Amino acid sequence: MPACAPFAATETPADPARTSQLDVAGELLTLLRDTTTEPRPDTQLEALTLAVAADLPVLLWGEPGIGKTAALTQLAAALDLPLTTVIASVHEPSDFSGLPVVGDDPAEQGVPMAPPDWAVRLVRAGRGLLFLDELSTAPPAVQAALLRLVLERRIGSLQLPPGIRIVAAANPRSSVADGWELSPPLANRFVHLQWTHDHEVVVRGLGGTWPRATLPRLDPEKLPEAVSHARRAVCGLLSARPALVHRLPGNEARRGGPWPSPRSWEMTLCLIAFATAAGSSRDVLSLLVRGTVGDGPGLELLAALDRMDLPDPEALLADPAGAALPERGDLRQAVLDGVVEAVRRRPEQSRWDAAWALLARAVETGAPDLVVVPATTLATLRQEEWDVPPSIEGLAGVVSLSRRADHAATRATAAAKAGR
């Protein structure tokens, strides 16, 4: 036997037990990944799908491990869109602005900017979901390179087709190592959604059933009305509050979130139209509006939308017995004040009587204290020749009782202060 025989390479037979156990482990992993979906109301998921349908870039903010990536994976699968994930923090600016490729005659032909391979695959597919992950850990130079991608859908000399949707995810700066605040120009290009976990959704999902992401059903007959409604709301607010057209926050952290600008107001108008055509809830619309122009301007816009939906005071005065008053106290108060103001503008006995009938109906169907101020104001509008309607008798006790309660509360507050 040669001296080197003990060191000769020999073939080791496959270990059946080890192969078998790996196969079993694979089967177990397959069972663990075998989940299903169900239709389930989910406000933040509906807001995400509505923004995706509107073809607006969305940025999901949430703590690590909250499920942002899983939500995007499930969304892509539900919408049958190929998912392309790009970790923004591990790329160079040239990966988004394009790499220069010198041709045969650059002085004559110029130097084209070649896009990365993932962008070429997206264009070839013609549709897909581009997921920009870890956006808050991308340095400023990379964020600057992302500006054209997010707004103009251009990567180098390549134009992404309309079938591509863009969604990004980021962690708060306090939750990441080496994190950066988003630059104001980049932040102003996104619809910002705060991604949180719902205990029931997580528990049911771990049990194998997650909420199903579906695109909103837009009513074709509502499209013109939805556009008109959105334009009236946004233009009406900005006409009354011109300072809200553009307001760059002074705080650096807030500049990296939603804030009002002509660009973000245009996005807001689009989202209102989509939400109206889809019949979305006010909670969904609130997430989208506040996530585009910020909390303050967003809440003002929501209040303006609420006022737009209020019934016409003239219609209520024409048929007080059949009037449908809002359930919410603030909206009901606004309606009653509007009715009294309508009587003030055109004081007539029949209109004054109808207003009292409407206040009586409001007492029957809601909180009595809401009629105190309108009733007091309406009483001052009476002219000498007008008879007192029977409905005022029932309201007199309510107004008197409310006033006594107010006086009692004032005295109690004064006594408490005196005893300190």
What pLDDT, on a 0 to 100 scale, did the predictor assign at position 332? 87
Under the banding of pLDDT at 50, 70 and 90, the label for residue 177 is low
Q: Are the CB atoms for 81 and 129 separated by under 8 Å? A: yes
In order, the DSSP letters of 382-407 are --TTPPPPTHHHHHHHHHHHHHHHHH
How confident is the model over 348-361, as pLDDT tens digits?
A: 989 988 988 888 88
* Separation of alpha carbons 335 and 375, rounded Å: 13
Mean pLDDT confidence for 225-245:
93
What is the 3-state secondary structure of 52-109? HHCCCCEEEECCCCCCHHHHHHHHHHHCCCCEEEEEHHHCCCHHHHCEECCCCCHHHH
Under the banding of pLDDT at 50, 70 and 90, the label for residue 2 is very low
Higher pLDDT, 416 or 381: 381
The region of weakest confidence among 44-53, 118-127, 273-282, 386-395 is 386-395
What pLDDT, on a 0 to 100 scale, did the predictor assign at position 192? 97
Mean pLDDT confidence for 130-138:
90
Under the banding of pLDDT at 50, 70 and 90, the label for residue 114 is confident
User: Rounded to whole angstroms, what are the CA distances from 363 to 101, 360, 381, 395, 399?
Assistant: 76, 5, 20, 8, 11
What pLDDT, on a 0 to 100 scale, did the predictor assign at position 408? 40
How confident is the model over 203-222, as pLDDT tens digits?
A: 988 898 888 888 889 999 99
In the predicted structure, residue 64 carries a pLDDT above the cut 50 = yes
What pLDDT, on a 0 to 100 scale, did the predictor assign at position 208? 86
Reduce the DSSP state of residue 283 to 3 states and report it: helix
Under the banding of pLDDT at 50, 70 and 90, the label for residue 417 is low
The H or E element spanning position 168 is: strand 164-170
Higher pLDDT, 261 or 36: 261
Chain mean pLDDT for the chain: 84
Residues paired with 84 in a beta bridge:
130
What pLDDT, on a 0 to 100 scale, did the predictor assign at position 69? 85
In the predicted structure, residue 187 carries a pLDDT above the cut 90 = yes
Higher pLDDT, 193 or 358: 193
In the predicted structure, residue 176 carries a pLDDT above the cut 90 = no
In the predicted structure, residue 337 carries a pLDDT above the cut 60 = yes
Mean pLDDT confidence for 114-128:
88
Q: What percent of the chain is predicted at pLDDT more than 70? A: 85
* Separation of alpha carbons 263 and 189, rounded Å: 8
Q: Are the CB atoms for 193 and 47 separated by under 8 Å? A: yes
What pLDDT, on a 0 to 100 scale, did the predictor assign at position 407? 46
What pLDDT, on a 0 to 100 scale, did the predictor assign at position 284? 95
Closest to 194 (Cα-Cα) out of 291, 56, 51: 291
Residue 286 tokens read as 């609130």
What pLDDT, on a 0 to 100 scale, did the predictor assign at position 18? 56
* Separation of alpha carbons 405 and 149, rounded Å: 61
Q: Are strands 209-211 and 83-87 parallel, antiparallel or unpaired?
A: unpaired
What pLDDT, on a 0 to 100 scale, did the predictor assign at position 281? 92
Residue 234's CB is within 10 A of a number of other CB atoms, namely 22
What pLDDT, on a 0 to 100 scale, did the predictor assign at position 385? 86
End-to-end CA distance of the chain: 107
In the predicted structure, residue 334 carries a pLDDT above the cut 70 = yes
Under the banding of pLDDT at 50, 70 and 90, the label for residue 418 is low
What pLDDT, on a 0 to 100 scale, did the predictor assign at position 13? 55
Find how far residue 175's CA is from the centre of its chain.
23
What is the 3-state secondary structure of 26-51? HHHHHHHHCCEEECCCCHHHHHHHHH
Question: Class of the 40-99+113-211 domain?
Answer: alpha beta
Closest to 185 (Cα-Cα) out of 254, 256, 243, 246: 256
What residues contact 343, with CB distance under 8 A and at least 6 apart?
317, 351, 352, 355, 378, 381
**Using CA atoms in the order 335, 340, 343, 344, what is the torsion angle rounded to 10 degrees?**
-130
What pLDDT, on a 0 to 100 scale, did the predictor assign at position 93? 87
What pLDDT, on a 0 to 100 scale, did the predictor assign at position 105? 62
Residue 304 tokens read as 């303006």
What pLDDT, on a 0 to 100 scale, did the predictor assign at position 415? 54
In the predicted structure, residue 409 carries a pLDDT above the cut 50 = no
Q: What percent of the chain is predicted at pLDDT more than 90? A: 33
Return phi, psi of residue 353, to 5°: -65, -40
Mean pLDDT confidence for 247-257:
88
What pLDDT, on a 0 to 100 scale, did the predictor assign at position 401? 43
Under the banding of pLDDT at 50, 70 and 90, the label for residue 8 is very low
The one-letter amino acid code at 180 reads W
* Separation of alpha carbons 184 and 207, rounded Å: 41
In the predicted structure, residue 139 carries a pLDDT above the cut 60 = yes
Closest to 121 (Cα-Cα) out of 77, 78, 73, 82: 82
